[in-house]
Amino acid sequence: MEKILVANRGEIALRIIRAAKDLGIKTAAIFSEVDKDSLHVRFADETVCVGGARPEESYLNIPRIIAAAEITGADAIHPGYGFLAENPSFAEACEDNNIIFIGPSSQVMKKMGDKAEAKKVMKEANVPVMPGSDGIVKNVGEALTIAEKVGYPVVVKAAAGGGGRGMRIARNDLELKTGFRMAQSESQAAFGDNRLYIEKYIENPRHIEIQILADSYGNVVHLAERECSIQRRHQKLVEEAPSTAIDEKLREKMGEAAVTGAKKLGYESAGTFEFILDEDDSFYFMEMNTRIQVEHTVTEMITGVDILTEQIRIANGEPLLIPTQDKIQLNGHAIEVRINAEDHTLDFTPRPGTINALHFPGGAGIRIDSHIYQGYKIPPNYDSLLLKLIAYGRDREQSRKRMLRALDEFVIRGVPTTIPLYREILTHPDFIQGRLNTNFIKNLGY
């Protein structure tokens, strides 16, 4: 592998460019017209404008992106997260054009991209899955029958769903009838696919996920868990590793489930198994993300494994640097907050604008992954993530205190950010105690 085309934008585009540089691999970046002043465009070795601001014209435009790889002579493409990262047609287009897709094969991606199908595959591998429909639910009548079987509350989910969209919770027949139709049209609009499935809705669960790495020599390891329960609209805001809910025994059990699932799939790349953890410690597979995740950083901090460079090395046919589970060691604690240009007091409304003053915090244990700079104009066309702030410490309390120190040093002027919200969360008695569930933000009143 000599040159990677970075098929994304924002902080993850920079993260990919940095990993490539660490490996001595050249980079070419694509960008849309409104992103011409973005840092990923400045940091890449070469750049290609692929189209207008609308994602369909640029970051979702498969023919243009493949052409950009050909023009720049890139022999590999990294899709990042979001956009085309979990689109099997894109992986297939790379395969057809002899370009290495940095991720799993299009076939495996297709299986996991259909969330109803993914659950079937995991059930066959004896991974515990959330009780619910056996695949796609065709109509409201069928939905009512399943709800009667599993018991309310239930959640209707889009088979093609992602980013927390296309989900509806129902607590009775009436809510299910309306929720089903709403989820159907929401999913059609967001994903061009209206297939739904149903599962039991767990009331106060944790979202716990397991990071895995699998190479093409049959080595599969897990890098322990990430706690991602602090969410708004089913999207993560704060993540940490390890989780206060997981002891060595449960970690081994959940890690084993993820490794078994990856082996069953013949998975090759970095990937994440997302689980719901109930209050009684039972856990259920929800979905697999066949890409790098936003919150991979906290795992990097506590394992010392560079997940991005490993993902690239795997795609290049190299074996894992640490191929055996017993050599994976956890040290310390890391917390990440996603700082968004949003007004969290107004239902997290995105607030794009110009960053007219900026000061980044620093010091022991602080990491920032970001594409913003003083004078940067945030385009309104994409998501509102400005940066990821990660605090590492020898234990959870040190990492929490360092995070608060960094939040205090931060200066961002020009747009509202979620920094005040994170101060509130990190000083909340329940957070300090590690008593978390997916309703944390809702319970704060936001």
Question: Which residues does the annotation mark as catalytic?
Answer: 291
Q: Which does 310 bind (CB under 5 to 8 A by kind): ligand ADP, Mg ion, none?
A: none
Residue 152 beta carbon to ligand ADP: minimum distance, rounded to whole angstroms: 12
Q: Which does 17 bind (CB under 5 to 8 A by kind): ligand ADP, Mg ion, none?
A: none
Specify the residue, 239 or 274, whose C-beta has the smaller distance to Mg ion. 274
- Residue 104 preceded by cis peptide, ω within 30: no
Specify the residue, 274 or 300, whose C-beta has the smaller distance to Mg ion. 274
- Residue 350 preceded by cis peptide, ω within 30: no
Helix axes 106-113, 115-124, angle to 10 degrees: 100
Q: Which of 104, 138, 111, 105 is nearest to 125 (CA)?
A: 111
What is the rounded distance in angstroms from the CA atom of residue 182 to the CA atom of residue 299?
36
Specify the residue, 60 or 208, whose C-beta has the smaller distance to Mg ion. 208
Residue 348 beta carbon to Mg ion: minimum distance, rounded to whole angstroms: 18
Residue 324 beta carbon to ligand ADP: minimum distance, rounded to whole angstroms: 27
- In this structure, are strands 26-32 and 46-51 parallel, antiparallel, or unpaired? parallel
Q: Tokens 């795992």 label which residue?
A: 299
147 token code pair: 């709800």
DSSP 8-state code for residue 82? S
What is the rounded distance in angstroms from the CA atom of residue 305 to the CA atom of residue 175?
45
265 token code pair: 């799939």
Specify the residue, 81 or 180, whose C-beta has the smaller distance to ligand ADP. 81
Binding site for ligand ADP (CB under 6 A): 81-82, 130, 155, 157, 161-164, 199-202, 205, 207, 231, 234-236, 274, 276, 286-287, 289, 293-295, 383, 385, 438
Residue 338 beta carbon to Mg ion: minimum distance, rounded to whole angstroms: 15
Interface stretch with Mg ion, choices 60-68, 107-115, 274-282, 415-423 (CB under 5 A)? 274-282
Residue 287 beta carbon to Mg ion: minimum distance, rounded to whole angstroms: 5
Amino acid, res. 88: P
In SS3 terms, 95-154 reads as HHCCCEECCCCHHHHHHHHCHHHHHHHHHHCCCCECCECCCCECCHHHHHHHHHHHCCCE
As a residue count, the chain comes to 446
- Residue 153 preceded by cis peptide, ω within 30: yes
Specify the residue, 117 or 142, whose C-beta has the smaller distance to Mg ion. 117
| C-alpha dist (Å) from residue 55 to 14, 22, 371, 378 | 19, 29, 18, 15
Q: Which does 235 bind (CB under 5 to 8 A by kind): ligand ADP, Mg ion, none?
A: ligand ADP
Contact 165, 185 (CB under 8 A): no
Specify the residue, 11 or 274, whose C-beta has the smaller distance to Mg ion. 274
Interface stretch with Mg ion, choices 56-64, 82-90, 271-279, 303-311 (CB under 5 A)? 271-279
Q: Which does 161 bind (CB under 5 to 8 A by kind): ligand ADP, Mg ion, none?
A: ligand ADP
Specify the residue, 229 or 399, whose C-beta has the smaller distance to ligand ADP. 229
Q: How many CB atoms lie within 10 A of CB 182?
A: 13
Residue 206 beta carbon to ligand ADP: minimum distance, rounded to whole angstroms: 9
216 token code pair: 């093409």
Q: Tokens 């429909």 label which residue?
A: 133
273 token code pair: 């198994």
Residue 404 beta carbon to Mg ion: minimum distance, rounded to whole angstroms: 28
Specify the residue, 51 or 72, whose C-beta has the smaller distance to ligand ADP. 51
**Burial environment of residue 188 by CB neighbours within 10 A (0 to 12, 13 to 18, 19 or more):** middle
Residue 199 beta carbon to Mg ion: minimum distance, rounded to whole angstroms: 13
Residues in contact with Mg ion, total (CB under 5 A)? 1
Nearest 5°: phi and psi at 76? -145, 155
304 token code pair: 């010392």
Query: Which residues are at the interface with Mg ion (CB under 5 A)?
Result: 274
